[in-house]
A and B are shown apart, each in its own frame.
Chain A
Amino acid sequence: MYSKVSEPVDVLVAFKRGSVEPMTFKWGKRYYQVRKVNLIHSERRGREKITFFSVSDEANAYRLAYSSESMKWSLEEMAIL
């Protein structure tokens, strides 16, 4: 169902209505246009706070993660149907 990816990605975000929303991300050599941010949730790993963005484009759903400690983005999972 979900395939684990855990790879670093470049993300372009927008600060909208007081929150952050990923707009586009680059994974490998391809750009993915985020059509909708479906769910945002966070998880603590010690003092580090990881914020997960469940996003989707026209074809797939993805889970992006932002670490407050390392200030890095990664693509955690990709839904395969």
Chain B
Amino acid sequence: MLPPFSKKLIAHVDMNSYFASVEQQANPFLRGKALGVCSYLHEYGCVIAASIEAKRAGMKVGMTMKEARERVPGSVFVQNDPPKYRAVTSRVFTILHELTDSMEHYSIDEAFLDLTNWYRDSAEAAWALTRARARIRDEVGEWLRCSIGIASTRFLAKTASDLEKPNGLVIIDKYNLDEVLAGLDLEDVCGIGSRIRKRLERMGYKTLLEVKRAPIGNLMRVFGKQGLYLSCKLNGMEFEKVVNARSNLPKSIGHSYCVPDRVNREGKIEATLMRLTERAGRRMRNLGMRALQLSISVGFRVPGFVVPRGSFWSPLAGQGVFATKHFGVPVDDSFSLVGGALEFLRKEWKEELVNFLAVTLFDLSRPTGQLCFLDQAFTYPTWNDSVNDRLGDKRHSVSEAMEMIRNRYGEQAIMFGSMVSLSNEAPDRIGFRKTEGVDVTLLQ
């Protein structure tokens, strides 16, 4: 039996043009200008955030800096500054945490708040959130704007917050749900992209309201379980809970880097891969987790290769290799992780020009304390094939000691020898869904 229309009170807070707004907050001379925040200040560096003024002029996230400059002449570009965004997010989330005990850090600039039983109705919640928004403006920065959506489910709250930007506040309840859905395009909601749209249109559904009223059986025949979820979401039924910040652990942790020619020329491919692996490993250890598997992608530069127009761009679209390593037992020490990554690179890489490197640690788990009787047989022989159990213990101890040194003296205080010559390669990057490093101070 399907659940009834949800009676929960969920809010979604979405910071508008976040990275660009933070930059405009820090530098008032950038306010009112078309500003693009780029991953790298290079003509092929990608715009990861555009200011409201830039978006109005036609700049889009994902454009290269060159494209953005052609589209919006006179626009200004700055390089992203991850610690700044994390610090501002920490302060914004700290304010929002005062509204409820159940808040999900959905991304670096978005949060879901379960306000059920904290406020009587959506009007009271809207009043509290408007006050919180005023506090963000007064205490964090007057240029920071956020859109607020209030509804009975996460999906509808997110849809509501997308309706009015910037600085909007929209409430969706069972009385205006049909009216709101009737005014939206199929792709205006989270979870429907161009391919699902085509399939829905083939079924004869042109609007979200038609999809909402469609028999569940029809949707399930085409989309399987996802069809049921889609119908439930559009009908205001709750099946996704707000996941509390502390229990929301990542499923994978990774780092990637678009490798410039300089790194190839200077022979620093291995060192760059080591740094990426070390960064991912460090983030994983900070969360107290271990990885059972590691995957690596290496993209090769193919002279003259042009990604076909309209196709999905991927760094591996030219030519590349991708492989996954299974460690046998969950590992977290630097030597196993870096050793596993390098072993793969040395096997697959034949000195081609590399343009992309990525490392992902997945199959993450917390240490259980369970002793492994088959440790000897299953321990992945990494750093050195002659590794034995005793060396494995030492490896772990050395890794822990390195961790303590880094905690005390900083990331660059101790590193593998080959990484010494690396200057600014593979720097810290901000990911929209990465919320580690965002620390909130909760009221006692």
Residues of B close to A71: CB separation below 8 A: none
* CB of A45, distance to nearest CB on chain B (Å): 4
**B interface residues, Cβ below 8 angstroms from A:** 22, 25-30, 41, 76-79, 83-84, 87-88, 141, 406-411, 413
Can you list 6 A-B pairs with a CB-CB distance of less than 8 A?
A38-B27, A39-B26, A43-B87, A46-B406, A54-B25, A81-B29
* CB of B340, distance to nearest CB on chain A (Å): 27
- Decide yes or no whether A32 CB sits under 8 A from chain B: no
Residues of B close to A10: CB separation below 8 A: none
- Decide yes or no whether A36 CB sits under 8 A from chain B: yes
- Decide yes or no whether A30 CB sits under 8 A from chain B: no
Residues of B close to A81: CB separation below 8 A: 29, 76
Extra contacts besides A56-B27, A61-B28 (16): CB < 8 Å: A1-B41, A38-B25, A38-B26, A38-B27, A38-B141, A39-B22, A41-B84, A42-B87, A43-B83, A43-B87, A47-B408, A47-B409, A48-B410, A54-B26, A56-B29, A61-B27
> Who on chain B is nearest to A1 by CB?
B78
Residue pair A41, B27 in contact (C-beta under 8 Å): no
- Decide yes or no whether A73 CB sits under 8 A from chain B: no
A36 to B25, CA, bound (A): 11
Residue pair A52, B408 in contact (C-beta under 8 Å): no
Residues of B close to A68: CB separation below 8 A: none
Residue pair A56, B28 in contact (C-beta under 8 Å): yes
> Who on chain B is nearest to A45 by CB?
B410
> Who on chain A is nearest to B88 by CB?
A41
- Decide yes or no whether A2 CB sits under 8 A from chain B: yes
Residue pair A41, B87 in contact (C-beta under 8 Å): yes
Contact flags A18-62 to B (C-beta < 8 A → 1, else 0):
000000000000000000101101110111100010101000110
The 5 closest A-B pairs by CB, nearest first: A41-B87, A46-B410, A54-B26, A61-B27, A45-B410
Residue pair A38, B83 in contact (C-beta under 8 Å): no
> Who on chain A is nearest to B24 by CB?
A38
- Decide yes or no whether A13 CB sits under 8 A from chain B: no
A54 to B333, CA, bound (A): 38
A36 to B31, CA, bound (A): 14
Residues of A close to B27: CB separation below 8 A: 38, 54, 56, 61, 79
Residues of A close to B84: CB separation below 8 A: 39, 41, 52
* CB of B191, distance to nearest CB on chain A (Å): 34
* CB of B168, distance to nearest CB on chain A (Å): 24
> Who on chain B is nearest to A60 by CB?
B29
Residues of A close to B88: CB separation below 8 A: 39, 41
> Who on chain A is nearest to B409 by CB?
A46
A43 to B141, CA, bound (A): 18
> Who on chain A is nearest to B84 by CB?
A41
Contact flags A65-81 to B (C-beta < 8 A → 1, else 0):
00000000000000101
A73 to B339, CA, bound (A): 41
A42 to B406, CA, bound (A): 18
Residues of B close to A46: CB separation below 8 A: 406-411, 413
Residue pair B26, A45 in contact (C-beta under 8 Å): no
With most chain A CB atoms within 10 A of its CB, the pick from B27, B77, B87 is B27
A37 to B117, CA, bound (A): 39
Residues of A close to B411: CB separation below 8 A: 45-46
Residue pair B26, A61 in contact (C-beta under 8 Å): yes
Residues of A close to B78: CB separation below 8 A: 1-2
> Who on chain A is nearest to B82 by CB?
A43
A39 to B41, CA, bound (A): 23
Residues of A close to B406: CB separation below 8 A: 46
* CB of B414, distance to nearest CB on chain A (Å): 11
A43 to B81, CA, bound (A): 11
* CB of A61, distance to nearest CB on chain B (Å): 4
A81 to B78, CA, bound (A): 11
A47 to B411, CA, bound (A): 11
Residues of A close to B83: CB separation below 8 A: 41, 43
With most chain A CB atoms within 10 A of its CB, the pick from B28, B406, B409, B410 is B28
A16 to B118, CA, bound (A): 34
Residues of B close to A41: CB separation below 8 A: 83-84, 87-88
A52 to B408, CA, bound (A): 20
* CB of A11, distance to nearest CB on chain B (Å): 18
Residues of B close to A39: CB separation below 8 A: 22, 25-26, 84, 88, 141
> Who on chain B is nearest to A55 by CB?
B26
Residues of A close to B26: CB separation below 8 A: 38-39, 54, 61, 63
* CB of B278, distance to nearest CB on chain A (Å): 15
| Given A2-B78, A41-B88, A52-B84: A36 and B408 interface contact (C-beta under 8 Å) | no
| Given A1-B76, A42-B87, A43-B87: A36 and B28 interface contact (C-beta under 8 Å) | yes
